[in-house]
């Protein structure tokens, strides 16, 4: 979930949307949004999200264990809320972006899920070390620092591609890099 949230932040500008979160602390273990985790926990408690494969994972940079799980939406309970969200934000293009990103992200194998961030252009930037802030445009010009956005916009120069096509191409690019280990 955190990796998907991260990708939504770096790829939102492809749809001319602002990132949902303007910055993130880069961690060796991958993206982590404490507020998102709190929300997920509440949704699990309400039955709107199912948690499975629950386990403890040691987080080296924190020196402690954290509970990890796989999550999926309980559409029976969440459908009304999701429909209301889609209606409320329909004029922004945000629901379409989220659907397209989730669809592209679902192409990743189980082994690649949660590990694709390693091959993401912005997260892999060596100018930002672990425990430093990745800026999605809060302080720096995103056209210069959001390499994920720039990569997605650079596919097939000269051709008019829809933003959704660019998202799919970018996720496929990350997937190929993951498959080749570089």
DSSP annotation of 113 reads: T
Please give the span between the terminal C-alpha atoms of the chain, in angstroms, as a whole number.
Answer: 23
Per-residue buried b or exposed e for 145-165, using 16+ beta carbons within 10 Å of the residue's own CB: bbbbbbbbbeeeeeeebebbb
Give the range of the structural domain holding residue 91, as residue numbers without chain letter.
2-180
Tally of domains within the chain: 1
Say how far residue 124 (Cα) sits from the centre of its chain.
14
Q: Which two tokens stand for residue 89?
A: 């934000």
Percentage of the chain beyond pLDDT 90 is 59
* pLDDT of the chain, 182 residues: tens digit per residue: 999 999 999 999 999 999 988 889 888 888 989 999 999 999 999 999 999 999 999 988 788 898 889 999 999 999 999 999 999 999 999 999 999 999 999 999 888 888 889 999 999 888 888 888 888 777 877 778 889 999 999 999 889 999 999 999 999 999 988 887 76
Whether the Cβ atoms of residue 175 and residue 16 lie closer than 8 Å to each other:
no
Global confidence as pTM: 0.90
């Amino acid at each position: 979930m955190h990796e998907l949230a991260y990708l939504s932040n770096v790829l939102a500008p492809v749809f001319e949307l602002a990132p949902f979160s303007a910055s993130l602390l880069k961690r060796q273990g991958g993206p982590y949004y404490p507020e998102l985790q709190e929300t997920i926990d509440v949704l699990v408690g309400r039955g709107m999200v199912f948690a499975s494969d629950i386990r403890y994972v040691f987080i080296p940079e924190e020196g402690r264990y954290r509970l990890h799980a796989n999550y999926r939406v309980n559409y029976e309970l969440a459908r009304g809320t999701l429909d209301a969200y889609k209606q409320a934000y329909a004029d922004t293009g945000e629901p379409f972006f989220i659907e397209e990103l989730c669809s592209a992200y679902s192409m990743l194998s189980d082994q690649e899920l949660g590990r694709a961030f390693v091959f993401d252009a912005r997260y892999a930037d060596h100018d930002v070390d672990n425990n430093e802030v990745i800026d999605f445009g809060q302080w720096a010009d995103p056209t210069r620092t959001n390499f994920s956005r720039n990569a997605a916009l650079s596919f097939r120069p000269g051709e008019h591609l829809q933003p959704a096509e660019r998202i799919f191409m970018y996720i496929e690019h990350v997937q190929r890099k993951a498959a080749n280990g570089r």
